[in-house]
Amino acid sequence: MSVFLNKDSRVIFQGFTGQHATFHAEEAMKIGTKVTGGVTPGKGGTQHLGLPVFDTVEEAVRETGADVSGIFAPPPFAADAIMEAIDAGIKTIVVIADGIPVQDMVRVERYRLGTNSIIIGPNTPGIITPGVGKVGIMPSHIYSPGRVGIVSRSGTLNYEAVAQMSELGLGQSSSIGIGGDPVNGTDFATVLKAFEDDPDTDAVLMIGEIGGPQEVDAARWAKKNMRKPLICYVAGLSAPPGRRMGHAGAIISSESDTATAKIDTIEALGMFVVRNPADIGATVLRAIK
Amino acid sequence: MNIHEYQTKDLLNHYGVPVPPGRVVHTDAQAASVAEEIGGARWVVKAQIHSGGRGKAGGVRVGSSIDEVRVIANEIIGSVLVTHQTGAEGRLVRRVLVEQASNIVREYYIGLVIDRATRRITLVASAEGGVEIEVVAQQTPERIIREIIDPAVGLLDFQCRKVAYKVGLKGTLLPQAVKVMKGLYRCMRDNDAIMAEINPLAIVDSGQLLALDAKMSFDDNAMYRRPTISELRDFDEEDPKEVEATGHGLNYIALDGDVGCIVNGAGLAMATMDAITLHGGRPANFLDVGGGATPEKVANAFHIVLQDPAVKLILINIFAGINRCDWIATGIIQAMRDQNIKMPIIVRLAGTNVEEGRAILNASKFPFIIASDLNDAAAIAVTEVNNIVKKVAPLEKEHS
């Protein structure tokens, strides 16, 4: 097992025939991801990458039994695509788009209420379960099967952590990017819970950044509910207040939003913390031993 | 994206929020004629810059005669205001808002934010108007009233009444307060704002509620569908380097150090700044070249970073996922050649096509310093910058 994407997952891509979706669907198939088809309105009934294309997500789910969707629609159309996937009963919805209007995500999260769907992202590199498959845009060759779960807001910082872990011979059970937007689908705490329940995960690395209460909320949840070691890094020690650091959600609006405030609180809760981003791999190793 | 106070008031007024009579002007003569036109006994002259704390900095003053308004406007227009938000260099005032002054009976705070925890727009109110809401939240959190808004039905009348009663707006003020709150919400929703506040919302001696000051910020990601709001953008209020960066699809934020940074990914860019800081150095900027960085984009990144005269060297940290190290390397070489760069360049490459990227750098005649990992890159950058500072410092002493 592993979280959100496992060997039984059946994957479709929305915006399937577009350039980016095509490239990343092919990459996903190369590493064994069970891609069953895709959706592009107006191209239903055709074939793409040797797989069926459907006009609607509802039809794709009915015909292929898909339960995971990778959404490659551009930001202005992403909210509609997410809600279509929710309506069709897709369980795990991975949203790559960077730049979805925040009020669109407020409406999407309202629409999702009461359903069984979870949204990973937006503005995420996606999900990868090494040895099983991926739905996303991360370079799969840097990951390797192992027993550490990773959850991060940033994509490249996730890669950085993976590279440091690989140097020390540590692999990953799954790696989940929850995305850098202020209003996102799945939060850190939800992913921690999934890893806590996953028999193939021994420890979890959480990579956060400035802005919002998510990292501290997740660490509080972990203090109460988690038995596996949790290692945390929060990027942006040197970020100035009031400025959006690349990610729409990375902004210090109050004292508790700073990297220092977050990491101090998380350390006081008894978690393993990393202050120098170059020490991520070594800290994970220390936590496991 | 931020807009000026006078623009915010115009916008809110369209949504039924009452504001004092007034107009924005660019000269002292215009200020005097506007004061005459709107009438009254006293007028407020308010500097229009994108910053809080204008009052304390002398940018908001009251005149009791038309002549006084002219004098005040003359003094404020063209002056440089230094507030706690502008930094020491301050901000040039190009225009002022002239308004009829009001006799304030009581001040309130009404605001809307997107609450990240509930993922909803939340109405925030307080009977402590006229002071920063952050200060109220810190010192007397119990005096802050919150009401979460369901996007499916919007802000409802009963929610407005609840909030109004809790802050003490009763009687004839109640329907006015409901109208202001609903107007503020519709204005935020219809225009893709991420923050809207009226502070203070004042009861004036006529018994009316008036928005005496207001502020709104908008979602950059939604401006493609809000052309009328996009037009309100004032480039004079932004760092020209940041404007240029946005035009090239780069994310750039100027900081006050001397180590220039070019990184891919916002998280890694912040981590790179952190590593530099932890080694005792100071980053000159945040710069994210993003995914799919072409050689041109990398060259543009150099151009922007080098406009900052404080930059003594550049650290490039790339972990290529959808990026390609060979393209990044090609961009670096292009920049070195076209922009005649002489300062030390420290390069750390990892990920997709890293071997090809390193080969391109090695084949060139430029003396790059190749770092093996993040820690190495930060350590080298700080050592190098300290060497440069040491070499320069004695010379400066001799000259003085």
> B153 and B11, same structural domain?
yes
Say if residue B398's pLDDT is above 70: no
> B394 and B298, same structural domain?
yes
Say if residue A2's pLDDT is above 80: no
Say if residue B239's pLDDT is above 70: yes
pLDDT in tens, B179-195: 999 999 999 999 999 99
Question: Which residue, A217, A226, A193, is CA-closest to A265?
Answer: A217
Quick check: is A80 in a domain?
yes
Output the furthest CA–CA distance in chain A (Å, rounded).
Answer: 57
Residue B355 gets the label, from left (phi > 0), alpha (psi -120 to 50) or beta, of alpha
Q: Per-residue pLDDT averaged across B364-382, rounded?
A: 95
> B119 and B183, same structural domain?
yes
Q: What is the pLDDT of residue B393?
A: 63
pLDDT in tens, A226-256: 999 999 999 999 898 888 887 877 777 778 8
Query: Which of A123, A158, A173 is the last residue before a domain boundary?
Result: A123
Query: Which of B191, B218, B237 is the last residue before a domain boundary?
Result: B237
- Tell me what the pLDDT averaged over chain B comes to: 93
The domain that contains B78 carries what CATH number?
A: 3.30.1490.20
Measured between beta carbons, the chain A residues lying within 8 angstroms of B269 are 245-246
Query: Which of A57, A88, A123 is the last residue before a domain boundary?
Result: A123
Q: What is the pLDDT of residue B139?
A: 85
Q: Do A101 and B192 touch (CB under 8 A)?
A: yes
> A83 and A197, same structural domain?
no
> A281 and A150, same structural domain?
yes
> A188 and A116, same structural domain?
no
pLDDT in tens, B124-151: 999 998 888 878 888 888 889 999 999 9
> A178 and A252, same structural domain?
yes
pLDDT in tens, A137-155: 999 999 999 999 999 999 9
Task: Between B317 and B320, name the one with better pLDDT.
Answer: B317
Q: What residue numbers bound the domain in which A86 lies?
A: 1-123
Rounded CA-CA distance A147/B270 in Å is 27
User: A213: which residues sit within 8 A by CB, 6+ positions away?
Assistant: A256, B116, B117
Of B194, B267, B271, the CB nearest to A155: B267
How confident is residue B246, by pLDDT bands cut at 50, 70 and 90?
Answer: confident
Q: What residue numbers bound the domain in which B382 lies?
A: 240-399
Measured between beta carbons, the chain B residues lying within 8 angstroms of A106 are 114, 119-121, 151
> B266 and B188, same structural domain?
no
pLDDT in tens, B253-275: 999 999 999 999 999 999 999 99
Rounded CA-CA distance B137/B155 in Å is 23
Q: Do A158 and B267 touch (CB under 8 A)?
A: yes
Rounded CA-CA distance B61/A275 in Å is 47
> A153 and A53, same structural domain?
no
> B200 and B291, same structural domain?
no
How confident is residue A88, by pLDDT bands cut at 50, 70 and 90?
Answer: very high
Catalytic residues of B: 109, 197
> B1 and B131, same structural domain?
yes
Query: Which of B101, B117, B152 is the last residue before a domain boundary?
Result: B101
Say if residue B400's pLDDT is above 50: no
The domain that contains A177 carries what CATH number?
A: 3.40.50.261
Q: Which of B216-225, B285-294, B323-332 has the lowest mean pLDDT?
A: B285-294
Quick check: is A104 in a domain?
yes
Nearest Cα of chain B lies from the Cα of A109 at a distance, in angstroms, of 7
Quick check: is A245 in a domain?
yes
* Residue B286: how many other CB atoms lie within 10 Å: 26
Q: What is the pLDDT of residue B92?
A: 95
Q: Do A245 and B194 touch (CB under 8 A)?
A: no
The domain that contains A45 carries what CATH number?
A: 3.40.50.720
What ipTM, to 2 d.p.?
Answer: 0.91
Say if residue A175's pLDDT is above 90: yes
Q: Do B273 and A236 touch (CB under 8 A)?
A: yes
Contact status, residue B363 vs residue B336, Cβ threshold 8 Å: no
Say if residue B159's pLDDT is above 50: yes
The domain that contains B126 carries what CATH number?
A: 3.30.470.20
Per-residue tokens: A45: 């009934």
Nearest Cα of chain B lies from the Cα of A63 at a distance, in angstroms, of 32
Q: Per-residue pLDDT averaged across B7-17, rounded?
A: 98
> B123 and B195, same structural domain?
yes
How confident is residue B95, by pLDDT bands cut at 50, 70 and 90?
Answer: very high
What is the model's pTM? Answer: 0.91
> A115 and A41, same structural domain?
yes
Measured between beta carbons, the chain A residues lying within 8 angstroms of B119 are 105-106, 109, 183
> B142 and B53, same structural domain?
no
Contact status, residue A252 vs residue A242, Cβ threshold 8 Å: yes
- Tell me what the pLDDT averaged over chain A comes to: 94
Query: Which of B60, B84, B101 is the last residue before a domain boundary?
Result: B101
Q: Do B116 and A137 touch (CB under 8 A)?
A: no
Nearest CA in chain B to A153: B267
> B29 and B13, same structural domain?
no
> A167 and A54, same structural domain?
no
> B6 and B142, same structural domain?
yes
> A11 and A87, same structural domain?
yes
> A30 and A112, same structural domain?
yes
Structural domain total, chain B: 3
> A190 and A67, same structural domain?
no
> B326 and B203, same structural domain?
no
Q: Which of A113-117, A167-171, B82-86 has the lowest mean pLDDT?
A: B82-86
Question: Which residue, B62, B96, B61, B51, is CA-closest to B77?
Answer: B96
Q: What is the pLDDT of residue B291?
A: 78
Burial of B195 (0-12, 13-18, 19+ CB in 10 A): middle
Among A residues 253-282, those touching chain B with beta carbons less than 8 Å apart: 254-255, 259, 275-278
Quick check: is A182 in a domain?
yes
> A84 and A180, same structural domain?
no
E-strand ranges in chain A read 11-14, 35-39, 47-48, 51-54, 68-71, 92-95, 118-120, 126-129, 133-136, 145-152, 172-177, 203-209, 230-235, 272-274
**Is the link from the previous residue into A122 a cis peptide, with omega within 30 of 0?**
yes
Task: Between A7 and B137, name the one with better pLDDT.
Answer: A7
Nearest CA in chain B to A109: B119
> A215 and A106, same structural domain?
no
> B109 and B84, same structural domain?
no
Measured between beta carbons, the chain B residues lying within 8 angstroms of A216 are none
How confident is residue A273, by pLDDT bands cut at 50, 70 and 90?
Answer: very high
pLDDT in tens, B26-62: 999 999 999 999 999 999 999 999 998 899 999 999 9
Structural domain total, chain A: 2
